[in-house]
């Protein structure tokens, strides 16, 4: 077991950390000696994730966190403030895809007939939740010597690729999901510019097509491989980029 005092370690909070990409991101950060606080909606799922991490000798804590619950934003701030007095890394990982069962199947273009409920639910989780949580936790991130905010976006967010008939995603048009992630990228750009004269870096990342509940069984990458880009940008050095959109070392066009 690690014996380093948690006050001497970086602290990371990861939403949707109970499974899939969030869990693998938590594991990867914990392996780097970072104190991980894992947010999950399900107490059973969250505790199971913590038990797995601690079983590997990794330092991690679980915080009940539903990204749509305003009280949970308040409790996250209070917990992190009282426990650590700051937050070094925020990974806005939680997200939903509602247009099809998962992203591994063909997605026909039903933009004109998508229900208001589906569009609103998608934007609430994929856009409003990370915006509001980031705003709420930003005072804690400002206390960090080098805060990092990582927004989990998607190749589907690229307006450039969606409008290019030669691109891989031209024929894949889940409007609600794509538009919510494009708007999340806009948040990344605007917040990064606001914080340009601070030590905080804000980036959007595409994890790749990952075999998770959202990505489906036909996806290219396992969750551990899919977590690499999030971990990379959560641990950027002082001279690292801000306000960008990346997959590993590749810049993705907006």
What are the residue numbers of the active site? Answer: 177
23 in Cβ contact with 49 (< 8 Å): yes
Give the ranges where the chain is alpha helix by DSSP (H): 20-31, 43-55, 70-83, 116-123, 129-141, 159-162, 175-194, 223-226, 228-234
211 in Cβ contact with 19 (< 8 Å): no
Exposed / middle / buried, residue 116 (Cβ in 10 Å: 0-12, 13-18, 19+): exposed
Dihedral angle computed from the Cα positions of residues 141, 41, 232 and 204, in that order, rounded to the nearest 10 degrees: -80
Q: Provide CB contacts within 8 A for 78, sequence distance 6+.
A: none
89 in Cβ contact with 147 (< 8 Å): yes
CA distance 81 to 159: 38
Question: Of the candidates 223, 229, 202, which has an alpha carbon nearest to the alpha carbon of residue 211?
Answer: 223
Strands 89-92 and 11-14: parallel
Q: What is the CA radius of gyration of the chain?
A: 17
CA distance 21 to 16: 8
234 in Cβ contact with 141 (< 8 Å): no
């Amino acid at each position: 077991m690690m014996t380093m005092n948690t006050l001497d370690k970086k602290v990371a909070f990861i939403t949707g950390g109970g499974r899939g990409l969030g869990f693998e991101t938590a594991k990867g950060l914990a392996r780097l000696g970072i104190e991980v606080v894992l947010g999950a909606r399900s107490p059973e799922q969250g505790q199971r994730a913590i038990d797995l991490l601690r079983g590997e000798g990794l330092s991690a804590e679980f915080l009940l966190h539903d990204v749509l619950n305003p009280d949970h934003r308040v409790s996250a701030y209070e917990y992190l403030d009282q426990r650590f007095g700051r937050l070094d890394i925020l990974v806005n990982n939680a997200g939903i895809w509602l247009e099809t069962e998962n992203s591994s199947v063909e997605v026909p273009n039903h933009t004109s007939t998508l229900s208001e409920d589906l569009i609103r639910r998608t934007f609430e989780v994929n856009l409003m939740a990370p915006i509001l949580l980031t705003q709420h936790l930003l005072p804690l991130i400002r206390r960090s010597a080098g805060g990092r905010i990582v927004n989990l976006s998607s190749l589907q967010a690229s307006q450039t690729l969606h409008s290019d008939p030669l691109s891989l995603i031209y024929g894949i048009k889940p409007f609600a999901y794509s538009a919510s992630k494009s708007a999340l990228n806009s948040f990344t750009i605007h917040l990064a510019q606001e914080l340009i004269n601070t030590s905080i870096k804000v980036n959007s990342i595409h994890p790749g097509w990952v075999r998770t509940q959202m990505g489906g069984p036909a996806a290219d990458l396992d969750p551990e491989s899919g977590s690499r880009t999030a971990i990379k940008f959560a641990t950027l050095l002082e001279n690292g980029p801000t306000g960008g959109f990346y997959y590993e070392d590749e810049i993705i066009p907006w």
